[in-house]
Amino acid sequence: MNPLLLLILIPALTMAGIMLAGDVKQARVISAVGMSAQLLFSFVLLYWFYQLRQSGNTDEMVFVSTTVWYPSLNIQLKFGIDGISMSMIMLTSIVTFAGVFVSWQVEYLTKEFFISLILLATGVFGFFISLDLFTMFLFYEVAVIPMYLLIGIWGSGPKEYSAMKLTLMLMGGSALLLVGLLGIYFNSAANGGPLTFDLMQIAKNGLPREAQMFFFPFTFIGFGILGALFPFHTWSPDGHASAPTAVSMLHAGVLMKLGGYGCFRVAMYLMPEAAHAMAWFFIILTTVSVVYGAFGAIWQKDLKYINAYSSVSHCGLVLFALLMMNETATTGALLQMISHGLMTALFFALIGMIYGRTHTRMIDEMGGLMKVIPFVSVLYVFAGLASLGLPGLSGFVAEMTIFVGSFQNVDTFHRVATIVACSSIVITAVYILRVVGILLLGPVRNNHYLELKDAMWFEKLGGVTLLVSIMIIGIAPLWLSNLLREPLAAMLNQLTN
Amino acid sequence: MDFSFTILILALPLFSFALLGLTSKSLKADLAGYAGTTSLLVITVLSYLAAWRYFGGGDAEAGFGTTIAMNYLWLNFTDTLQIHIGILLDSLSIMMLVVITTVSLMVHIYSLGYMKGEKGFQRYYAFLSLFTFSMLGLVVATNIFQMYIFWELVGVSSYLLIGFYYERPSAVAASKKAFIVTRFADLGFLIGILMLSFSTGTFDFDALTSPTGPVISQPAGSLFMGLSVTTWAMLFIFMGGAGKSAMFPLHIWLPDAMEGPTPVSALIHAATMVVAGVYLVARLFPIYAMSAPEALDVISYIGSFTSLFAAVIACTQLDIKRVLAYSTLSQIGYMMVALGVSGYGGEAGLGYMASLFHLFTHAFFKALLFLGAGSVIHAVHSNMMTDMGGLRKYMPVTHVTFLIACLTIAGLPPLSGFFSKDEILVAAFEHNKIIFAVQWLVAGITAFYMFRLYFNIFWNRTPEYHHAPHESPVTMTLPLSFLAVASVFAGFVPFHELVTSDGKAFETSFHVLVALPSIAVALVGIGLAYIMYFKQNERPTKLAASISGIYTAAFHKFYIDEIYIFITKGIIFQFISRPVAWFDRHIVDGTMNLIGNTTVAASVVIRRLQSGKVQLYIWFFASGVLLLTLYMLLQ
């Protein structure tokens, strides 16, 4: 059996276990055990991956297995990973692990909550290991649907509106995507042979230029919506604001990465000519995203809105760097995906902890939290510093790789775009320090807060897991950078020729 | 020669930071202080050992070389653009190691007394360790990106230490301001690095600054607005340096940074971090001197203006730490001027040597001034000189050491400040007479405001103290005494044989024509201060009234802060962020909602067709048939 299938099987078994669980406590423990096993298995997989590479295996994809699923349309269950998907799997399992622990205290419909949460994660895992466009799309939808339920049922505020908005906008993206994918499918045999959804096969065959020019925008925008591409990002602030903590974590931390991953692996990789021809337009959009999101964040008062806008800015940087289409910038984009995934998950976890205690997310209603809940506050400062790109934390590594990489494009247009994007490091510092100053420092403004309890063990576990991951990347980035870079040479070769 | 032991100089403070940070409150306060101080003592000894080995083993005539003690690959961007984390030892970095560890050690010892009983004592020492680590990493950087990394870390340690009293809103605001202003400057630094590294294909200082290397020997590339790409890159890089070194107009964060604990001001905002900009220019000096002379001119103008500007403001301030802060700006201006008027190699490099010489002596006497001020503040519990006076009787050690520091900064022989300032004036004299005149004048103003400070604290009227001020404990007076000795004798270090632009020794000569006027102007300054502030009298108020326009402007720091507030609050917040937020909610999101609402509205209309009423369907059917029949008939 393909070991990758375990990535789907473990969550499936966990869900079955939760269903059989007698009470809330058992459900929690089963989820925790399941996701710990998943995390552990990701490490094992990473080890196997390195072993394969060390033994001289230089295949583009490893652990490949193919099963024809629906012969008349040539749909296959084709799985396989390379360095990029490997690191995305690591990211997903870390964030899911932390998410389960942060949701420890969910009281309402606990079993259903954990099942939906893990189902969402399963969709993401499936997406990252799929090499068949149809299966990929299938898993993508598997991830989006539970999101609707999670926000609609366990959310807060105008949750029905937000859940509906988020789902509809993402579904709109899916619709565009479906058009794009079918377009790719029906042009996949331009040089003879059967039509196929097989990613690697399509890349090898190549698509005709006219088809690329027509279907690239559909695919890129379809995935781009998920990656919070300006101006299709507004589901993000509302959606996050209403979503329960773990859902925000998974969503911003992992699901939004599907967008960037898809933009690169499907849209750009399969349609390189169109990508080249249209890059300028999307570079403008993403440059706007980067700066616009950062400026938008300055004016917000709700913690989740601040983080949502900050995500628009940071995810804008991901697409921005991908469109630069050189090895360094692309490595930076992938690093940024992982870095942003971890730190934004940490942010949302902490916001959840703060909200759970103070019952507000408005920064001007709080103040001086450092004194009353130091553990949460210190983690928040760390997350903030990672977000504003402090060396030693992951954000710096990613951003610098992006900026240096983008600057390698010599023409004035790319240079100016890079410098504009660089300026976000200052604006980010402004809004992060503003929040830290108002929320955590200063005198305690509300006397009720003096009695707040600091983080519980499960919250500490979730938060520290994320922080440690951020620090490992920040302090020793070389291994990850090499892991991501390894498959890029071949892919970029495809893109630049 | 083996310098691999220098790795400990970086490892120890990092370890001590991790230890103190992780154990935090579970470690007893005293123990945390001793742990931090001990680790620093070891580092200091190691730095001295490195200096002794390096200068002892080299030959001044042939020039001191560069040693890479270690260099690890940290991240590779491309095949040539790679970040290494390593240790580069040359005369410049060794000198900085000595300065930083010495001052930091003094501050560590001093803080044992000054911060005693403060809440967060462990945190304080953890931050000090972090700062020391970052600063040391900065000066031993082997490549410009490593420098940038530690540059940012220094920035954040400064942020944490300025905001140490985090429950005090003014401290929070000051720390935020410091971070954001320097961050803005760092954006320039980053762009400069991008430009420089792209055109040269390397981050390594060795390759960048080698006079025979490709960067300098190759003719400058294309011009943009009359300046070469290299010049632009070097100007951007200087912007980063100007931010950290608080050069006009990026100086506004430094006076506010005095909100931090006083020993921190001594360490970070007087002796070490704020001279990082000087160090940066010195580190890249061959490029500035040979490929970007226009940038060097800019540096000298900015330095000169800042030194005059800050000196004038210092004459009017009442908060003693702010006087010292403006004094620091002014003195760093001197260092920048010296670099700006310098050439490369041999005697032409006099300015370079003078700048670093002044950096060296300034570190000691300015740290002494701050620690002395801290001792005074510790005794009277106020920063304002109006609350002080006559303290010489109560605090003899502080008084004597403070006086020595004042005489040193005023530039009287044979104290160290005289020698270093004199070299700067000589260098300026040979290069540009106007700059020389300005710096000469600033020397007089410096003497004036320092003695205004001195007389106001230790002489003048004695206010009624709530409880009699007392001399500080020995943990505080010991560092004061040590630094006083260093301030007196640091001038005798033969800098022109040790730290020069090309590493080779050269001869300096004594210029009577420069030395005598500078001594004279200092004496005039001291004399004026004596007349006005030695005893309580009406002269200061009268003088202030007679030049009230300038006085008020200087007292309000020439309204630069207000301009900044206008730009940040008025323009960025109100005119960019707020409209962006509004646009996003109402236009972008509005469009999305509009699409949704239109769909709903359309469905309301269409829904009527699917009402389920059979009569209605029959009616539709019948009218359809009728219409079709009519249509056919008419055809």
Q: Is B77 on the interface with A (CB under 8 A)?
A: yes
B-chain residue closest to A445, CA distance: B167
Nearest to A433 among B77, B180, B190 (CB): B180
Inspect the interface and report whether the beta carbons of A437 and B180 lie closer than 8 Å: no
Q: Is A434 on the interface with B (CB under 8 A)?
A: yes
* pLDDT tens readout for residues B143-200: 999 999 999 999 999 999 998 888 888 888 889 888 989 999 999 999 999 888 887 8
Class of residue B225 by CB neighbours under 10 A (exposed 0-12, middle 13-18, buried 19+): exposed
Mean pLDDT value of segment B390-401: 85
Q: Is B198 on the interface with A (CB under 8 A)?
A: yes
At CA B165, angle to CA B162 and CA B167, rounded to 5? 125
Inspect the interface and report whether the beta carbons of A296 and B584 lie closer than 8 Å: yes
Q: How far apart are the CA of A230 and the nearest CA of chain B, in angstroms?
A: 9
The DSSP symbol for B471 reads: P
Residues in chain A closer than 8 A to B198 (CB atoms): 407-408
- Nearest Cα residue to B61 out of B502, B476, B456: B502
Class of residue A71 by CB neighbours under 10 A (exposed 0-12, middle 13-18, buried 19+): exposed
R_g (Cα) of chain B, nearest Å: 31
Q: What is the SS3 assignment for B86?
A: strand
pLDDT for A236: 83
Nearest to B183 among A403, A425, A478 (CB): A425
Least confident range of A234-243, B55-64, B93-102: B55-64
Cα–Cα dist B87/A322, whole Å: 34
The DSSP symbol for B610 reads: G
CB B90 within 8 A of CB B65: yes
pLDDT for B221: 59
Tokens of B183: 């961050």
Inspect the interface and report whether the beta carbons of A404 and B197 lie closer than 8 Å: yes
pLDDT at B59 over 70: no
Residue with tokens 């099987």: A9
Residues in chain B closer than 8 A to A169 (CB atoms): 592
Per-residue confidence band for B139, with pLDDT thresholds at 50, 70 and 90: very high
Cα–Cα dist B270/A246, whole Å: 47
At CA A278, angle to CA A273 and CA A284, rounded to 5? 150
Cα–Cα dist B8/A486, whole Å: 34
* pLDDT tens readout for residues A410-441: 888 888 889 899 888 888 998 899 888 888 88
Nearest 5°: phi and psi at B343?
-110, -175
Q: Is B183 on the interface with A (CB under 8 A)?
A: yes
| AA letter at A99 | G
Tokens of B55: 């200068």
Tokens of B142: 């082997």
Cα–Cα dist B526/B444, whole Å: 8
pLDDT at B219 over 60: no
Class of residue B61 by CB neighbours under 10 A (exposed 0-12, middle 13-18, buried 19+): exposed
At CA B462, angle to CA B456 and CA B464, rounded to 5? 130
Least confident range of A216-230, B121-135, B456-470: B456-470
pLDDT at B631 over 90: yes
Inspect the interface and report whether the beta carbons of A300 and B73 lie closer than 8 Å: no
Residues in chain A closer than 8 A to B77 (CB atoms): 328, 400-401, 404-405
- How many CB contacts within 8 angstroms connect chain A with chain B? 122
Per-residue confidence band for B635, with pLDDT thresholds at 50, 70 and 90: confident
Cα–Cα dist B314/B319, whole Å: 10
More confident residue, B506 or B184: B184
Nearest 5°: phi and psi at B89?
-115, 120
Q: Is B622 on the interface with A (CB under 8 A)?
A: no
Least confident range of A158-167, A208-217, B209-218: B209-218
CA B87, chain centre distance (Å): 22
Tokens of B347: 């005697």
| AA letter at B153 | L
* pLDDT tens readout for residues A48-101: 988 888 888 878 888 888 888 888 888 888 888 888 999 999 999 999 999 888
Largest distance between two CA atoms of chain B:
123
Q: Is A313 on the interface with B (CB under 8 A)?
A: no
Query: In the beta sheet, which residues pair with residue A70?
Result: A75
CB B131 within 8 A of CB B164: no
Cα–Cα dist B80/B73, whole Å: 12
B-chain residue closest to A305, CA distance: B581
| Site from B17, B26, B200, B584 to mutate, A interface, most A CB atoms within 10 angstroms | B584
Q: Is B170 on the interface with A (CB under 8 A)?
A: no
Query: At a CB cut-off of 8 Å and minimum separation 6, what does A491 contact?
Result: A269
pLDDT for B58: 66
Q: What is the SS3 assignment for B57?
A: helix
Long-range contacts of B2-5 (CB under 8 A, 24+ apart): B3/B50, B3/B53, B3/B54, B3/B67, B3/B69, B3/B87, B3/B89, B4/B69, B4/B70, B5/B46, B5/B49, B5/B50
Nearest to B576 among A295, A401, A481 (CB): A295
CB A377 within 8 A of CB A396: no
A-chain residue closest to B183, CA distance: A426
Cα–Cα dist A422/A287, whole Å: 10
Inspect the interface and report whether the beta carbons of B180 and A404 lie closer than 8 Å: no
Residues in chain A closer than 8 A to B159 (CB atoms): 433
Inspect the interface and report whether the beta carbons of B74 and A481 lie closer than 8 Å: no
CA B35, chain centre distance (Å): 27
Percent of all residues in chain B with a pLDDT value above 70, rounded to a whole number:
97
Binding-face residues of A in 67-126 toward B, CB within 8 A: none
Nearest 5°: phi and psi at A302?
-90, 130
CB B114 within 8 A of CB B374: yes
CB B227 within 8 A of CB B294: yes
Nearest to A234 among B163, B179, B589 (CB): B589
- Give the N- to C-terminal CA distance of chain A in Å, as an integer: 37
Binding-face residues of A in 215-244 toward B, CB within 8 A: 230-231, 233-235, 238
Residue with tokens 């260092």: B335
pLDDT for B498: 81
Inspect the interface and report whether the beta carbons of A298 and B573 lie closer than 8 Å: yes
Torsion over CA: A114, A119, A124, A130 (sign): positive
Q: Is A481 on the interface with B (CB under 8 A)?
A: yes
Tokens of B445: 């103003």
Query: In the beta sheet, which residues pair with residue A68?
Result: A76
Residues in chain A closer than 8 A to B163 (CB atoms): 441
pLDDT at B217 over 70: no
pLDDT at B623 over 90: yes
Residue with tokens 């506050």: A377
Query: In the beta sheet, which residues pair with residue B143?
Result: B204
Cα–Cα dist B623/B4, whole Å: 98
Per-residue confidence band for A153, with pLDDT thresholds at 50, 70 and 90: confident
Cα–Cα dist A441/A368, whole Å: 5
| AA letter at B159 | Y
Residues in chain A closer than 8 A to B179 (CB atoms): 429, 433
Query: DSSP letters along A267-334, please?
Result: IIHH-HHHHHHHHHHHHHHHHHHHHHHHHHHHT--BHHHHHHHHHHHHHHHHHHHHHH-SHHHHHHHH
- Nearest Cα residue to B514 out of B410, B429, B594: B429
Cα–Cα dist A223/B555, whole Å: 58
Cα–Cα dist A239/A256, whole Å: 12
* pLDDT tens readout for residues B510-551: 777 788 888 888 888 888 888 887 777 777 777 777 777 777
Cα–Cα dist B146/B158, whole Å: 18
Query: What mean pLDDT, rounded, does chain B reach?
Result: 85
Q: How far apart are the CA of B294 and the nearest CA of chain A, in angstroms?
A: 23
Percent of all residues in chain A with a pLDDT value above 70, rounded to a whole number:
100
- Give the N- to C-terminal CA distance of chain B in Å, as an integer: 109
Q: How far apart are the CA of A392 and the nearest CA of chain B, in angstroms?
A: 8
pLDDT for A497: 64
Tokens of A491: 């892919």
Q: How far apart are the CA of B182 and the nearest CA of chain A, in angstroms?
A: 9
A-chain residue closest to B191, CA distance: A419
Residues in chain A closer than 8 A to B572 (CB atoms): 298, 430
Torsion over CA: A194, A195, A198, A201 (sign): positive
Q: How far apart are the CA of B381 and the nearest CA of chain A, in angstroms?
A: 21
Q: Is B573 on the interface with A (CB under 8 A)?
A: yes
- Nearest Cα residue to B186 out of A168, A423, A124, A96: A423
Inspect the interface and report whether the beta carbons of B187 and A425 lie closer than 8 Å: yes
B-chain residue closest to A403, CA distance: B194
CB B584 within 8 A of CB A302: no
Q: Where are the domains of chain A?
A: 3-496
Alpha helices for B245-319 (secondary structure H): 253-256, 262-266, 276-283, 285-291, 293-314
pLDDT for B60: 61
pLDDT at B220 over 60: no
| Site from A363, A423, A441, A445 to mutate, B interface, most B CB atoms within 10 angstroms | A441
Q: Is A396 on the interface with B (CB under 8 A)?
A: yes
Residues in chain B closer than 8 A to A407 (CB atoms): 194-195, 198
pLDDT for B61: 64
A-chain residue closest to B73, CA distance: A478
Cα–Cα dist B286/A410, whole Å: 26
B318-349 exposure pattern, b = at least 16 Cβ within 10 A, e = fewer: ebbbbbbbbbbbbbbbbbbbbbbbbbbbeebb
Nearest 5°: phi and psi at B143?
-145, 165
Tokens of B218: 């190759």
Cα–Cα dist A265/A254, whole Å: 16
pLDDT for A62: 84
Query: At a CB cut-off of 8 Å and minimum separation 6, what does A56 contact?
Result: none
Nearest to B153 among A370, A391, A419 (CB): A391
Query: In the beta sheet, which residues pair with residue A174?
Result: none
Cα–Cα dist A433/B403, whole Å: 40
Q: Is B75 on the interface with A (CB under 8 A)?
A: yes
Q: Is B152 on the interface with A (CB under 8 A)?
A: yes
Query: At a CB cut-off of 8 Å and minimum separation 6, what does B219 contact?
Result: none
Largest distance between two CA atoms of chain A:
74
Alpha helices for A109-196 (secondary structure H): 110-129, 133-154, 159-186
Distances (CA, A) of B308 to A375, B252, B305: 47, 15, 5
Inspect the interface and report whether the beta carbons of A234 and B584 lie closer than 8 Å: yes
Per-residue confidence band for B572, with pLDDT thresholds at 50, 70 and 90: confident
